[in-house]
Amino acid sequence: MVKCPRCGTEVSKSRKEWDYSVFHVKRFDCEKCGKAFMAYYREDKLSHTIPKRK
Ligand SMILES: [Zn+2]
């Protein structure tokens, strides 16, 4: 469960995931604002999102 960096809605379903360098990346699609964002995990902890939270 990750909060959308744009509107703060919690999104639970990741559409796609992959490994990028030391990170595990998940792509989420926010149903509220209709835009995608990425969540970067490092050692199973959320590191940051792209775009970053305001
Ligand atoms: Zn959103």
As a whole number of Å, the CA-based R_g of the chain is 10
Residue range 1-54, pLDDT digits in tens: 899 999 999 999 999 999 999 999 999 999 999 999 999 999 999 999 999 987
Which residues on neighbouring strands pair with residue 29, listed in sequence order?
36
* Number of Cβ within a 10 Å radius of residue 25: 17
Query: Which residues hold their Cβ within 5 A of ligand 1, which is an ion?
Result: 4, 6-7, 9, 30, 32-33
pTM of the entire predicted model: 0.89
pLDDT at 5: 97
- CA of 9 from ligand 1 middle (Å) equals 6
CA 22 to chain centre: 16
pLDDT at 19: 98
The amino acid occupying position 15 is R
- CA of 8 from ligand 1 middle (Å) equals 6
The amino acid occupying position 42 is R
